[in-house]
Amino acid sequence: MKVYLNGNIVDGASAQISIFDHGFMYGLGVFETFRIYEGHPFLLDDHFQRLQKSLVQLGIEWRYEKKKICAILEALLYANDLQEAYVRWNVSAGVGPLGLHTGDYEEPTTIVYMKPIPSYMPAEKQAVLLQTRRNSPEGKQRLKSHHYMNNILGKRELGQNIGDEGIFLTKEGYIAEGIVSNVFWVKNDILYTPSLETGILDGITRQFVFTLAKKEKINVVEGCFFEDALLEADEMFITNSIQEIVKITKYKEKSFSFNDGITEKLQKQFNDWKTKLWSKGELG
**CATH of residue 159:** 3.20.10.10
23 and 135 share a domain? Answer: no
What does the pLDDT look like over 181-207, one tens digit per residue? 999 999 999 999 999 999 999 999 999
58 and 106 share a domain? Answer: yes
What's the domain range around 268?
124-278
**Does 87 fall in a domain?**
yes
**Does 283 fall in a domain?**
no
255: Cβ contacts below 8 Å, ≥ 6 apart: 249
Q: What does the pLDDT average to over 94-103?
A: 95
What does the pLDDT look like over 213-262, one tens digit per residue? 999 999 999 999 999 999 999 999 999 999 999 999 999 999 999 988 99
What does the pLDDT look like over 165-185, one tens digit per residue? 999 999 999 999 999 999 999
Q: What does the pLDDT average to over 50-64?
A: 97
The answer on pLDDT for 55 being more than 80 is yes
Closest CA to 69 of 99, 94, 49, 48: 48
pTM comes to: 0.96
8 and 78 share a domain? Answer: yes
Distance between CA atoms of residues 242 and 39, nearest Å: 15
Mean pLDDT, the chain, whole residue set = 97
